[in-house]
Each structure stands twice: as structure tokens, then as C-alpha cells.
Structure 1
Amino acid sequence: MSKLILIDGSSYLYRAFHALPPLSNAQGEPTGALFGVVNMLRATLKAKPEYLAFVSDAPGPTFRDELYDKYKAQRPPMPDDLRAQVDPMLAIVGALGFPILRVSGVEADDVIGTLAEQAHAQGIEVVISTGDKDLAQLVRPGVSLVNTMTNTTMDSAGVMEKFGVRPDQIIDYLTLVGDTVDNVPGVPKCGPKTAAKWLAEYGSLDGVIANADKVGGKIGESLRDALPQLPLSRQLVTIKLDVPLEQTVTDLTLRDKHVEQLRELFTRYEFKAALKDLEANDAPVGAHPVRDQTPAEHAAIPAPDRAQGALLHQGFDLSAPGSYELVTTQAQLDDWLQRLSNAELIAFDTETTSIDSMMADIVGLSLSVEPGKACYIPLTHDYPGVPAQLARDHVLAALKPIFEDPNKAKLGQHAKYDINILSHYGIALQGLKHDSMLESYVWNATATRHDMDSLARKYLGYETVKYEEVAGKGAKQISFSQVDLDTACRYAAEDADITLRLHYALWPLLQTEPTLRSVYENIEIPLVPVLAGMEQRGVLIDVNILRLQSQQLGKRMLELQQQAWKAAGHDFNLDSPKQLQAVLFDELGLPAKLKTPTGQPSTNEEALEAIADDHPLPRLILDYRGLAKLRSTYTEKLAEIVNPRTGRVHTSYHQGAVATGRVSSSDPNLQNIPVRTEEGRRIRQAFIAPEGWVVMAADYSQIELRIMAHLSGDEGLMRAFREGGDVHRATAAEVFGLKPEEVSTNQRRAAKAINFGLMYGMSAFGLARQLGVDRGEASDYMARYFARYPGVHAFMEATREQAHRDGYVETIFGRRLYLENLKARNQALRAGAERAAVNAPMQGSAADIIKRAMISVAAWLKERDDAHMLMQVHDELVFEVRKDAVEEVRAAVVARMSGAAELRVPLLVEAGVGANWDEAH
């Protein structure tokens, strides 16, 4: 579920001011409240919510002042030391990228209430960061309060525990108690306990008023005397939920940090920890977590001095503003065609109507052959009064010989997208030499995100024009085709220019590291057109099968719902974490073995697995969620996203997303369809081939375990693979001192768990839980394993040592994974990094091997029309093969996949064929 964090800025500032000592910087400026706010904001950023906003009171009166002229009349003026910190606070908040909302005529609470109401209606979880009791009236399932000062969270149960009333009674409670700070009149002598007692007895304020004559004593007299003013008090304490706002919830996303402004502010106010974090997250070009601690090895790599513009290419400051040309005449086009003909490297980028490359239409093209200079050629801008543009087909026909010339070196930023766009217009781009996204990804996959804006900021010290700045955002965002030409030129031409600049910053770095350069030139760049071709081909789906499966899944979900209700003893909403939390932990008394970041009992998959043996309900919920995910993600969604142009489903493959080098898939994610469940396998039955064709699936067998044998050089493990038998049975025979034929099913299962578990750093505790044995027995299994396979243990220890020494580990082919948490003070983070260090060489090498296989197979298929590579799913490649070519294609694919790496053990590939993907296994 998406999350919205709403920060009560006024509450933050006041709480920090009164909670912290009167700190000041060297110039005597007060900093205490500011210091507190900055730390709370940094904590909020670590939660990484999808949506967030910093809401503060706007200056001037509000509607409550009009209702009651004495409202807040007794509140003392803001202390001078606090007032002096308001503007710096807003400056820091804005520079951190938080959207800031200050709405005249209402209070911050009203803005928060309105956004909470809107988000809740959209199914977005809301967390309100505040210390203000008034906001408790907003609490409900999906809306909670968090106090970052005390690190406590308040949900509906928390409201009842603190105030003695339900959240829906808080308004009435506040009305009765009143507020001396805000000068809201309540019932004199009515304290919190009395208010809670009345509301428990009479249900609501209206009920209290109706029964006022039944309340005895002096408190009864006070209540009756206060009756005329209670409606006004209720109006004053009621938070508005309908404030007109320019922004919608989904507009409230974190913007990019203004690094230079933050550096200046943190330095001025002497926030050393915040400044250290900022510098660590914005390290200079070439910076690596450990690499920069070995200057003798890397002293030749210059770091850019952003202030002085020291990052140069042939005398040009790569952080300087660019000069861009809007091309709308034939003479201008001819001039650029000549420049392209003479250029050694052409940076190009497309502007389109959609981020879906298989549905998008081209709007314009940008080109650059010299850093600092670029052009934009508009092709299909369509707003009223748009100036004349060159004809789209004419421009593309003129560019086609250049784009298709393999001897003309091309450069893109995520060029696969642009290759797909050009393919719609009959242009098969060749000669892709570089991709700045992949240069960054290979140089250091974990140093930064690899989008253009992030790379420009990190490696050039350059702030790019953002799409929202030219096209707007949210509901008001326009298509790029409606952006005026001058603005479009400024944005689009910059893309080509910055792509070229990034190349000139990153390529020299890769050239200093021969193994990284080899990964880039021999694996990543050749893979780009291969993935583009797979995306363009797409996969054929039987929509009728999916619809039938969707109905069957729905029926099974209803059965599970009934079973869950029976197990719980009553009906409840299985999709509500709050209701499930109440049933599992409050009603059934099951142990809460995992907590959420806010301290609540978790109901996520891991938490339910941990208690699945304690009661039938957790397993029923897990099964229900699994079916619900299959239904929403695949059986319903796949039918909806069949491309009307091709009649196929087209996924997007991502090279720069997974640190270990694996290719990931999205929209739809074809790599997450379960293969171990019957329902998951049935979904694969909907992936079919055209008439006269079949589906072929070729899968590496136990590739990561084979890589472990190769890297460790352990004779026993290598022997098990060379002999070609059941490696898990062979391992069990070694561990338990038996002949292979004497190994029991449970012993083989234990050996398999150890074989795979060790690669992921499984502990004796984890093995015990997986096998259902005690920890001592699991420890004994592991000890026997290492005694029989000493090379594996030695490899694991050597890898950990190398990781600590170098700060990274490498795959067989030289890809590096940097592990920043190896030096973390937190033991859990450090242990996690060590587990990743052991696993990454296997997982990363497997990723490299299948990428090499894809490149080899694609080259063989290039001149054929009887087979097409459709999908890459982990260690498997899926093809569409004409029936009369099956045996030839199968043999060629198996040979090329097996030959993608030379290991000390055989690379075994199994290839099956069927009418659908499931049958091919």
C-alpha cells in the first residue's frame, strides 16, 4: 500500500524549541529548534514514503478568528528566538525536497485533515507526524499519528488508551474539555476523565447535552451553564476536511535535493551530522565507498570541483550552461545532417507521448555531437498556433541512413527506449557504442540512481530541467506535444547534451578499470539491442484462459475467506491489516514476532510465516494473499495490457536496476510468476505460440551452485557435478556418510537446503526453521557439510575478507558490487552486507552468464525467421519456434547457453518444448 506522511510543521518547530536546550551557532544565531526539526526530517526521509508534505500555518487570521474573536487571544507571542528560526526551517525543508503547504485562512491542521481524507479515500495509508492532540480526531484504520520526538505511534487503540474515548469521539471530547492555550471554552471543571466518562455513558456530545439535566452536583451546573457555547466550541475544534487545495495527494512527491543550498545552510547552522550525510550521499565523481581510501591506486582519477568548474572536456566546463538550437527549417536540418556525418559520436534522444515505448508516438528528436551544444527537432507538436515544423516522415527518412549506419557511433541515456521508438518508424538503429546509464551502472551500481537527473547532479554538478517544470504535474500535466517549442527545445536538447557530457565524465573512469570496461563493452552494451528486440516482439497471450483462471481464483479466494472467518470465529476484512492485526494478536493472542517500524505487530508475509504453525489462520491469510496477487497482477492485468497494435504483451526489461547485474522486468513483471505453485504454473499456460509454432524454454540447471563449485574449487562439490548425478543426493551422502542409494528423502532435503542456503548466508537458526529440526541438529548438519566441503568454507571466508579489504566483491567476469554497510556500526546491517558479499559473486556471475548467452543466441538468430527470443526469466530463456525448426534451434540454443562461460564444472542446460510456456517445462 502507498503511504503519505504529513508533517505538522508548526508542531515540529514548537516541540523542538521547548524540548531542546537553547543552542546557537558561532554567530550567536539560535539553532535549537532548527536542529530538532532537521533531525526529525532526516528520520522521515529514511522511511521513503511515496508521498509526503510539510504543512505549516500561513501568516494571518483564519476562519476561526472570524467565528470567535477571542480564539487564541491568550496565546503569548512567538518568542524571538523561535521566530528567527522559522524562515531557515522553511528554507531547509524546501531544499531537502519536501513539498511545503501553507494555506491562508485555515490552519495547518485543516490542510492535514483534508489531505488525510483524500488519501484515505484513495486507499493510501496516512501517517501524520505531530504532537498535537487535536489531530487524534483524524485517526481511523489506515490513518495514524506518529510522534517522532518520543518515537511512538497512535492508532485507534492508542487514542482510546490515551484519551479514554474513540477517535470519532475526540471532537466531542475536546469540546467538553476546552483548550486554554487556544482559548476554546469548554465546560468549566470538566477534565479529561469526566469528559471520557460522559461520552462513555451518553455516546456523544449531543447525548451529553440531551442528558445534561441528569448530571448532578456542581459539575452538572457547569455543564448546563456551558450549553449555549458548546456548539461554537465544537466548531472551533473540528478540523476541516474540505479545504480547497491546488495540489492533490499524488502531487506530493519528494523533489530533488538542492545540494548547494543545503550545504550552505548546514554549514551556517553547524549541523555536522546532517552535513556529513549530505556529503556522503553526494560524493564527487569517481567516488566509491572504499576505493577512495586507496589513493595510490586511483590518484589519476580527477574529482570535479563544482565551484570552479574543474571537470573539463577539451577545455569545456561540463557543468556550464548549454547553447541549444530549435530546428524548424530545411537549411537547419541540412546543417545538422552534415554535423552528424562528420561526428565521431552522436548523442540522441527522443521525446514521445508515453513512457510505454511500445505505445508511444514520437514528438521530437534531440541531437548533440559536441558538449554544450545540441538541437531539438520538433515533429508532431499539436497545440493551437504551433509554428511550422518539418514533416515527421521527411526528417526521419533523412536521419535513417545515419541511424542505421553501424559505423556511425551512437550514444544514448537508456537508449533501449529510443531504439524501440525509432523501430515504430522503420528505423533499425545500429552502431550503439555507448549508453551513459550503463556507464554509471557498471562503474558503481550502488553509488546513485542511474536516471539522467541523478547522474548529472552527481557526476557533473549540474541541475537539469525537470519534466514537471515544462509540462506541469498531476492532473494539470500536459502532453509533451502540447509544450511550446522554445520550452520544449530547452528541455529536450539538454537531454542529448547532458548525455554526451555524462559520457565524457564516465567513460574515462571505465577506461582506468579494464575489467569493468570489459563488462560494459562485452556484456551490457551488446545486450541493449537484444533486449530491445525481445520487447518489440512481445509474447502471445490467450486471454480466454486468463479470464477463466481469474474466475477460478476468485472462487478459491471466497473459499479461503470462509475458512478464515471460521478460524477467527467471526467475519472480518481479510484485506485490512488493522482488522487482521486485531484478530491475530488481540483476539487469538498469537505472538507478535515481528514489528512494523512504528512498533505495531506486523502482518506482512514474513510475520505471518513466523506464526503459521501456531494457528491455521496465518496460513489461510498467506494463501489468500498469494491468490489475490496472482489475480490482480496477472490473470486480470495481462488481459488488459495486450497491445492493440501487435496483439501481444510487451514487458520492459531493465539493465540498470539490480546491483548484482540481473535483468529485471516490469509492466508486467514476468519474472515474478510463481513456478512452485499449481496456480502460478497454470498462468504460464496462457503464454502460447501462434499456429504452426511452439514455445521452447531453456533453463540453466543449478547455475549458482555450479558457480559456487567453480569459485571455491572444492573437489568434492566439483566431483558431484562432474559425475552428473543428483548433486543434492551426492551432498547428502557426503554429509551423512552414506552411499547415494541409502540417502533418505529428508536427508536429501537437508542437503539441498544447505547447498542453496549457504549461498544466501543462511544461519543454523534459519536452517533449523526450514527443516523443522532443533538448532543443534542444524548446526551439526552445517559442521558436517563444511568438513566434507572445506573449499566452500574457505571461499566464503576469503570472500568476506576481500570484501572488507576492498569494499566490493566481483563476479567471474569482473563486475563489481560495492557494499557500503560492511563498516556499519549496526551489527545487523554489517552481517547483511557480509551475506551479500558471499552471495553476490554467484548471483552476479549467473546474471553475466545468461546475458552472454542471450547475446550469443541473438546473434545466431539474427538472420533467421523461424525462431524468436521472447523472455528472460531468471536463469531461463523462452523462445517462439516454428515447429519444423525445433530440433535445430534447441541444439543451437543449448550449445550457446552451455558455452556462455568456461567453468570447472559443466554448465547444464535443459530445454523443453510445448504448446504453452507451462508445457515447455
Structure 2
Amino acid sequence: MTQRDERLVLVDGSSYLYRAYFALPALTSRDGEPTGALHGVLNMLHKLLAEEAGERIAVVFDAPGRTFRDDLFERYKAHRPPMPEELRAQREPLKEAIAALGVPVLEVDGVEADDVIGTLAARAAGPVLISTTDKDMAQLVDERVELLNTMSGSRLDAAGVREKFGVPPAAIRDYLALVGDTSDNIPGVPKVGPKTAAKWLNEYGSLEALRERADEIRGKVGESLRAHLDELPLSYDLATIRCDLELDLQPGELRRSAPDTEALRRLYRRYDLRRLLAELEAEAPAADDPEGDPDPDPEVAYTLVRDEAELGAWLEQLEAAEAFALDLETDSLDYMSAAIVGLSVAVAPYRAAYIPVGHTGEGASPQLGLERVLERLRPLLEAEAPQKIGQNLKYDMSVLAGYGVALRGVAYDTMLESYVLDATATRHDLDSLAAKYLDVETVTYEQLCGKGAKQIPFAEVDLERAGHYAAEDADIALRLHRHLYPQVSAEAGLQRVFTALEMPLLPVLSRVERHGVRVDRQVLERQSGELAERMGEVEARAHEAAGEAFNLASPQQIQAILFERMGLPVVQRTPKGQPSTAEAVLEELSAQGHELPRLILEHRSLAKLKSTYTDKLPQLIHPRTGRVHTSYHQAVTATGRLSSSDPNLQNIPVRTEEGRRIRKAFVAEPGCRLLTADYSQVELRIMAHLSGDSGLLEAFARGADIHRATAAEVFGVERASDEQRRAAKTINFGLIYGMSAWGLGRQLGLPRDQAQRYIDRYFERYPGVQAFMERTREQARQRGYVETVLGRRLYLPEIGSRNRQRREYAERTAINAPMQGTAADLIKRAMIDVDAWLAEAGSEARLVMQVHDELVLEVPEGELDAVAARVRELMGGADGGALRVPLELELGVGGDWEEAH
């Protein structure tokens, strides 16, 4: 028998639980459950089991409740805050996981883990290794007992204790009594530090001898010692680890048992302990995978479909399936111009086929023609059954529509399943999802085709390699669906968001994108010229203000002029220590009355409008349709709001006259008008609903101007002025976004204390709002997420962060996210309902844009009244009666988007 087999290993579980919690970031599982301490302790334990432990081992935790030391000294550990809730939540899962590993877990009421470990070490017949980070344990070291800090890898035997503390293990209790312990609130002797304590004990031999000769100690430290002589016995008792407990078990009974692999698998999956799960699966593959997939690495069966017989065989499989996964391979990411190179399908995990139709690379022949393949597949693709599964199916739907194929039965999109399950857990592309949820490293497009100048078109890739890549895409989508959808459907709110909002919206967005919006090229070209002229004027004024010519686009030159030549105050520095010229810095300097920073900001704003919109939008006009076709993204923002690109319609500026004028270029077709329908103050209405504040509810119920009503309350006037209304509007929206008194004061141009008085008065008048904010913060801390009215879940991984700035940002987000998220849900519901009505009514009107809380429709002039009335009705009822306040809309009509406002 080896020494490792004979040795008893005792793990101080409580010590490692706390150290792991404070040492690691605030990790969470996909369900928002805290996992940082779980990761840390289990990784430590696995390392210990692999490197140090034989069969004899136990992990010991402090039992909850009072101990004998609390009876000795009422203030023992009294200053310690209670165990953080996110740490407490990990305690039981950790003990469960350790037990599933086959390692005994001990807790003894009325004593601490130290005492249990001390007693077991004293009783053990052979060598003992104590794994701990607690310095108190040094008193247990002797010729048989050694300490190991698994986190740092350091070991302490008797010689090591003397080297570290300056005294032998037998004197550690005396040492601790003198030094005290701030973490445990052990008094000790004030002014006595580690060096003094070690010096005294080496000189006098023991604490008792030191007490007897205390009169010999000179100076302030001697006075402190004599003043606290009566307290030393208490400190000694508190620091002493008991080694004589009456335990119901003996060290010889502490032995590992066989691990419960199914329990471990369940725990590792629940808490996203992916590395440990991978190690477990490698050591003990699951006989029956509860997620519904076969063993981790079964033999894949991917088929290249090259002739009519193979196509027919796969058509039979697809027709017999309840659902199948579909993926297109194309030559472009632009859905308006992409040509199909091939189609892949999957009917079961690890079984997929690729049907090439447009390859030119090695091994390309034989392959079927696209027209023939679409002719054979059309009945399946256009039928509601079988159901279709895929990743980002909106793209596939739009590409197929370009070939005259109307994809129907689109039931499950894995990108949206992941997004609804947890928007912030990961990016929602196929490669990222495969890595996170399936532990699969997929072949990437760049690995297949190269990158940069050396990248080749997909159609030129060797067909065998291309076929495996494409079939894998369909296979992974199917496997992801089987993994993700059960989790989505297990929560009623998440399933409702997925099935009633996100999936029905997918075909609506495809239609909106493909229809596009008409843009007047001449208007944009004229505006580009005007912006260039304005930029020249501002540049000349900036040069005059600086006293010299300089490049307004050069941060280095701006830095030299503002901070070196003009001597303006440095507000912020770059990571390299240079004075920053960022927008926020220039705004701060402008607010201090400096003209040049204001002119630089104005020039930047004009330059951005020109480069991003008036110069670029004409390039995006499609040559065939004469319209701009944006791409809407459902799975990007954390709150559920849509984003868009090429062009980004959400970022067209509306706060400046120049920005608003860009909307004049968005025009209606001849014979049509643009109808805009914009929710009025929707987030404030949602705030009123969520908070239940009687004042806000009453104001909205009677149709009051909410900003003027707030101004009257905050400023204590009967009829608020326009200036007071503007201030109240800033307060209303500022509080939604968690604005501080400092931020509010800066926006209103007021001292911080006056801004704070406005905030205090607001909460006095609307106490329900403050109560809602406090309630939401607490719920977010407890659950790790907040929810919208319709059930969308918004996770806040930083809500338990020990970094104050991150935690406070998460708390502000917790308050704002339910409002932004509910507003996002409402506009999505409105789009679905309006689109459905237009189709049902056979209207020629079309949805052409969605921007923030606004829908834009292109409507034949003869239908304007009917469409406007129905849109008002449908958008006003998008909440399905869930809100306690009415939804109000502002409708506008015009030949262009700006006129419609």
C-alpha cells in the first residue's frame, strides 16, 4: 500500500467555497443561476482527486447556525456580512456534486469545519493532508499532518509553518491570540503584529510566560499588552481548533465510493460546467442521452445527392418525417441577389444530405440542375407539413422567394430558440451555438474557403468537402433544435414569446425586407452637397477659433491644439495616457463654454451624416427594384428590439435638423403615400403598468400630457411652463434609464443637489415607481433575470458582480429592460397583426419599415383612411388587454418620411 493510499485527505470545503467565490468572476448558467464558486471548488477538487487523494477523503463544511464560539464571545464573526445570496445558492448544489463524485461530505452542528477536521486529524492513525486556505489550520501541523493550498499549490509542513509564521506549529494558537483575526473578530492585542508576536513567543517561549512577564515589555506596545492581558485567554480559546469532538464516525470510515455519473451529468449540464461534463463523457459515455441525442461522437452519415434516384430516396424520407432541417448554400449574403449553390437537409441527428446544384470545383460532376431540384422539392417546401427547422431561416425564405418558392411550415429557428432562451448567453450564430450547447467544433466557412484575398467562392470548393460542410449545417441545426426547444417549451412565458412573437414575425420581416422602401437618389445627392458646404463653413470657423489650420479628423492634431496650445483641462485619458478627444470629452468641454470643441463635434456630426447616409444610401439602391432593402436582425439586442443593417434604419438621427432631413429621401411610390404610426410615450406607459403607481395610471387614463403632469407634481405648480415640461420630460425618461442626480443636473444645467431634490420630489409624488424599482432590483438579484409583460426573459449576468460599476449598471438595466423589452414585444405583435390584416383584406398597402416604436407603411392614396383606422386599432390593441393603461398612437401621412412626421 502506498503512502497516498494510507493518507487521509481532509478538505476544508467552507474555506474553498468562499475563496472560489471571491476569486472568480460572477459566472452564471444559461438559466441565470450563479456558478462561479461551483466552478472553482469542483475544479480544485478534481485536481486534488487526480494528484493527491487516494480512497480516504472527506470534504467538511461549516454547519449553519451558532457554534460554541458564539457562546464564548457574542461578537465572534459578528461584523461579517451574511453569506451573499448568490453564494448561498451554490452551497447545496456543490455538496450534491461532491457527494455524486463519491466523496463523503460532513457537517456537524454547533462546531466549525476546522474543529471537525482537527478531531479527525488527531484520531487518524496514518498521515493526514489538510487542503485549506485557512491559516488557523497551521496549529494542526505535526510530523503526520501537512497542509496543502490547492489554489496556490503551496504546502506547509512543520518547517514550512515556522518559516511562514516565525513560530513552530505548537505556538500558532499563542500567535493567533496575540495577533487576533479581523475576519473572525478575534480581539488579539492592538498594535501587536505578526513580527512582534513571533519575536515575543521565541523570546519568552509561550503565551502564558509572556503574560507573567508582561511588565518587562517597554513602549506603547507593552502598554497595549498589559491593558489587554485579561482578554488574551478568550482570544486563545477562540483561536484554538478543538480536536476532541464526539463524532459519530471514525477516520477509517471516510472512503470514496463509486461516482454517480448520471447525477453528475445532470448537475454539470444544469450549471453549464462544460469542461467537467466533457471529461465525464470521455470517462463514462452516457448509455442513454437524456437530451435525446446519441452518444457524443457517433458515426455521422452524410450523403451527397448526385442523381434522380438518390434525390427520390431522400424525398421519401422528407415526406415521411414530421419535421426536417433545411439549409441553403449560396454565393452571397445579400438575400436579394444570392444564387443557390446547393441545399442540405437532415431528418435525424447525424443523418443529413447535401444536394449540389451549382458547383464548379473539383468533383463537381455529376450534379442535378437547380430547376429540377426545386421542381421536385417545391411541394414539400411550400407545404405546412412537414415542419421546417433551420438556423436563420428568414434568409433561406427570402432567397427561395427570389426563385418563386414560398417556404411554408417554418416552425423552428434555432437562432431564435437560443435568443429566446437567453439573449446574452452567447452569440447566436450556428458555430457559437454548436460550441456552447453541443460541445461541437464545426467546420467554419473560412476554414473551408480561406479568408481575405485568398478566399475562394463556395462553389469552387472540392465537392466532397463542401458536401460534408453543408450537410453538417443541417445536422447541427436539427440537433440544436432537439437540445434547445425542450428548454424553451418548459417555460410558459418563453414558449409564448417564441411561438406567438418571434416565429410569426420571421416571415413578416422577410416580406418587409424584400419589398424594401423607395429612396430618392437626387434628394440624397443634393443633401450631400449641402453637407459638404456646411462642413467647409464649420471647418473655417474651427480654424479661426484655433488660430491655425488643422485636420478636424485627426485626434492627434486636435489633442495638440486643445490641450497643449490652448491649455484646456484634460477630462479623460486614453489607455496609453494621452488626453482623450472622444465625443464625451468634447461635450464636457463644450458644456464648460469652449467654442472649438463644440465646432469639432458639429463637424463630426455632419461628416457622419454624409458618409453614413447621404453618400452611402444611393449605393444601396437595388438596380432591379430601385429601392433600399435593409436586413432586420431578431437575435442581436438583449431587450428584444430589432436592429437593422445595410442600411441601419434604427440609427438615422432625428435630434438635429440635418438628421431629420435625411428622412425626406425615403419616399412613396407615385400614387401612394407613407403612413407612419408611432407609439406615444410607450415606455412610460409600461412603467405606469409595471409600477401600478396610482398617480401615473390616473394621468394616462384621463389622457393627460404626462410630461406636463409630472412637471406640475415635481415643481408644485398648477400649470407647468414649457420649460418645466421639458425638464420633467428629462426626469421621466432619465429615471427609466437609471440617470443619477449628477447626470440629471448635467442635462438640465443644474447643481447636483437641486437635481437630487427634483428626483426626491418625483418619488414622493409617484411612490409606486420607487417601490417598483426597489422590487425589481431585488427580484433581479434573487433570480438573475427580469421579464417583460409578455414573458420575455432578460438575463443580467453582472447583477451579482463584486465590481460596483458593473453591478450598478446591471441594476439600472434591470429596471429599464422590462420596459424596453415590453415595448419591443408590442411593436413585434403589431407588425404581425398589421401584416396579417393587409393580406386578409387584400390591401395593396405594404409595411416598408420598422424603426424603434414606429411602423411605416406605403399605402395607395385611395386606401389611406381605411388603412390608418385599422392600423390604429391593431397597434392600440397589441397588448391584448394586458396593460392597465391605454396605448396611444401618433399617425402621420406624407409623400416622404419626414413629411409624414
**TM-score, normalised via structure 1 length:** 0.67
Task: Pick closer, same or farther for the CA change 1:322–1:837 going to 2, 3 Å.
Answer: same
1:828 paired with 2:805, answer yes
* Structure 1 residue corresponding to 2:786, chosen from 802, 809, 831: 809
Provide the rounded CA distance (Å) in 1 between the counterparts of 2:887 and 2:297: 48
Q: Alpha-carbon deviation of 1:455? A: 0.5
Distance 1:790 1:319 in 2: 58
Q: Which residue of 2 aligns with 1:324?
A: 302
Q: 2: CA distance between counterparts of 1:875 and 1:285?
A: 45
Q: Which amino acid aligns with 2:834?
A: V
Given candidates 403, 421, 425, the residue that maps to 1:447 is: 425
Report the alpha carbon displacement of residue 591 of structure 1 after superposing the two structures with TM.
1.8
- Classify the secondary structure of the residue corresponding to 2:651: coil
- Kindly, what percent of the aligned residue pairs are identical? 56
User: Residue 492 of structure 2 corresponds to which residue in structure 1?
Assistant: 514
Q: Which of 750, 759, 773 pairs up with 2:750?
A: 773
Q: Map residues 718-737 of structure 1 onto 2, 5 A cutoff.
A: 718-737=697-716
Question: Which amino acid is 2:573 matched to?
Answer: K
The 8 Å contact of residues 737 and 813 in structure 2, kept in 1 or not, is answered as yes
| SS class of match (2:644) | strand
| Paired position in structure 1 for 2:232 | none
Q: Does 1:365 align with 2:343?
A: yes
Deviations 1:533-586 (A, max 9, x none): 111111111001100100110111111111111111111111111111111222
Who is 2:825 aligned against?
Answer: 848
The alignment partner of 1:825 has SS state of coil
Return the offset for 1:718: 1.2
Tell whether the 8 Å contact from 2:421 to 2:488 is kept in structure 1 after alignment: yes
Corresponding position of 1:346: 324
Residues 384 and 612 of structure 1: is their aligned pair in 2 closer, same or farther, counting only changes over 3 Å? same
Q: Report deviation, 1:388.
A: 2.0
SS of residue matched to 1:597: coil
Task: Name 2:893's counterpart in structure 1.
Answer: 913
Rounded to whole Å, the distance in 2 between the matches of 1:808 and 1:313 is 25
Counterpart of 1:523, as a letter, is L
**Structure 1 residues 274-320: Cα deviation after superposition (integer angstroms, max 9, x where no partner):** xxxxxxxxxx999999x959x9xxxxxx9995535545555623654
How many angstroms apart in 2 are the aligned matches of 1:620 and 1:305? 62
Q: Distance in 2 between matches of 1:376 and 1:469?
A: 19
Work out whether residues 306 and 461 of structure 1, in 8 Å CA contact, stay in contact via their aligned partners in 2. no
- Whether 1:793 aligns to 2:770 is yes
Once the 2 structures are TM-superposed, how far is the Cα of residue 470 of structure 1 from its aligned partner? 1.4
Shift of 1:745: 2.4
| Structure 1 CA distance for aligned equivalents of residues 703 and 267 of structure 2 | 45
Work out the CA distance in 1 between the residues paired with 2:396 and 2:326: 8
Structure 2 contact 345–475 (Cα < 8 Å) conserved: yes
- Please list, as runs of the form range in 1=range in 2, the aligned pairs for 1:391-790 lying within 5 A after superposition: 391-614=369-592, 615-740=594-719, 743-790=720-767
Counterparts of 2:812 and 2:590, CA distance in 1: 26
Between the aligned partners of 2:780 and 2:443, the Cα distance in structure 1 is 39
User: Which residue of 2 is the match for residue 379 of structure 1?
Assistant: 357
* Structure 1 residue identity aligned to 2:886: P
Q: What SS does structure 2 have at the residue aligned with 1:685? A: helix
Partners of 1:392 and 1:285 in 2: CA distance? 45
For residue 671 of structure 1, give the secondary structure of its aligned residue in structure 2.
helix
CA RMSD of aligned residues (A): 2.3
What is the distance in 2 between the residues matched to 1:738 and 1:303? 66
From the superposition, tell whether residues 914 and 856 of structure 1 become closer, same or farther in structure 2 (CA, over 3 Å). same
Cα gap change, 1:806 to 1:288, in 2 (>3 Å)? farther
SS in 2 for 1:813: coil
Write the letter of the residue equivalent to 1:854: M
Compared with structure 1, are the counterparts of its residues 313 and 787 closer, same or farther at alpha carbon in structure 2 (3 Å cutoff)? closer
After TM superposition, give the deviation of residue 867 of structure 1 in Å. Answer: 0.5
Residues of 1 paired with 2:441 and 2:675: CA distance?
Answer: 47
Cα distance, 1:321 vs structure 2: 5.1
Kindly indicate whether the alpha-carbon contact (under 8 Å) linking 1:714 and 1:791 is maintained by their aligned counterparts in 2: yes
Instruction: For 1:696 and 1:607, locate their aligned partners in 2 and report how far apart those are by CA, in whole Å.
Output: 40
Question: How many residue pairs get matched?
Answer: 634
CA distance in 1, matches of 2:317, 2:893: 51
**Aligned pairs (5 A) from 1:273-352:** 292=271, 306-307=281-282, 308=284, 310=286, 311=289, 314=292, 316-317=294-295, 320=298, 322-352=300-330
Most deviating of 868-877 and 606-615: 606-615
Letter matched to residue 825 of structure 2: D
1:271 CA drift (Å): 9.2
Structure 2: distance between partners of 1:777 and 1:453: 52
- For the 8 Å contact 1:309–1:319, the answer to whether it is kept is no
Distance 1:429 1:436, change over 3 A: same
Alignment CA distance shift 1:288-1:605 (3 Å): farther
CA–CA separation in structure 1 for the residues paired with 2:278 and 2:770: 40
Q: Is the 8 A contact 1:414 1:435 kept in 2?
A: yes
Distance in 1 separating the partners of 2:561 and 2:608 = 22
5+ long unaligned stretches in structure 1: 1-41, 44-268, 273-283, 296-301
CA distance in 2: counterparts of 1:796 and 1:598, whole angstroms? 39
- CA deviations over 1:43-83 (Å, ceiling 9, x no partner): 9xxxxxxxxxxxxxxxxxxxxxxxxxxxxxxxxxxxxxxxx
CA distance in 2, matches of 1:385, 1:431: 34
The superposition leaves residues 20-62 of structure 1 with CA deviations (integer Å, 9 ceiling, x where unpaired) of xxxxxxxxxxxxxxxxxxxxxx99xxxxxxxxxxxxxxxxxxx
Q: 2: CA distance between counterparts of 1:459 and 1:375?
A: 23
Q: Distance in 2 between matches of 1:639 and 1:771?
A: 39
Q: Is the Cα contact below 8 Å between 1:304 and 1:460 reproduced in 2?
A: no
**Contact 2:362–2:461 (CA<8 Å) still a contact in 1?**
no
Q: Using the alignment, how far apart are the partners of 1:681 and 1:829 within structure 2?
A: 35
Q: Residues 323 and 388 of structure 2 are in contact (CA less than 8 Å); yes or no, is this contact kept in structure 1?
A: yes
Offset at residue 384 of structure 1 (A): 6.8
Residues 288 and 447 in structure 1, CA contact (< 8 A), matched pair in contact too: no
The residue correspondences of 1:214-253 to structure 2 (distance < 5 A) are none
**How far apart, CA to CA, are the structure 2 residues paired with 1:893 and 1:830?**
41
Q: Is the 8 A contact 2:307 2:368 kept in 1?
A: yes
TM-score (ref. length: structure 2) = 0.68
Matches within 5 A, 1:9-408: 292=271, 306-307=281-282, 308=284, 310=286, 311=289, 314=292, 316-317=294-295, 320=298, 322-383=300-361, 386-408=364-386
**Displacement, 1:594?**
2.4
Tell which structure's C-alpha radius of gyration is larger: 2
Aligned amino acid, residue 719 of structure 1:
E
Note the alpha carbon deviations across 1:383-438, whole angstroms, 9 max, x for none.
Answer: 47731211101101111111111232111101111111111110111111101111
CA contact (8 A) 1:535 1:651 kept: yes
Deviation at 1:588, TM superposition (A): 1.6
- The answer to whether the 8 Å contact 2:293/2:349 transfers is no
Asked whether the 8 Å contact 2:449–2:456 carries over to 1, the reply is yes
CA–CA distance in 2 between the matches of 1:605 and 1:386?
A: 54
Provide the rounded CA distance (Å) in 1 between the counterparts of 2:279 and 2:546: 62
Structure 1 residue 334: Cα displacement: 0.4
8 Å CA contact 2:285–2:296 kept in 1: the answer is yes
Cα distance change of structure 1 residues 314 and 807 upon mapping to structure 2, 3 Å threshold:
closer
Cross-structure match for 1:878: 856
Partners of 2:397 and 2:406 within 8 A in 1: yes
Distance in 1 of aligned mates of 2:489 and 2:364: 46
CA distance in 1, matches of 2:314, 2:715: 73
User: Where does the alignment leave 5 or more consecutive residues of structure 2 unmatched?
Assistant: 1-23, 26-149, 154-263
Question: Amino acid of the residue matched to residue 551 of structure 1?
Answer: G
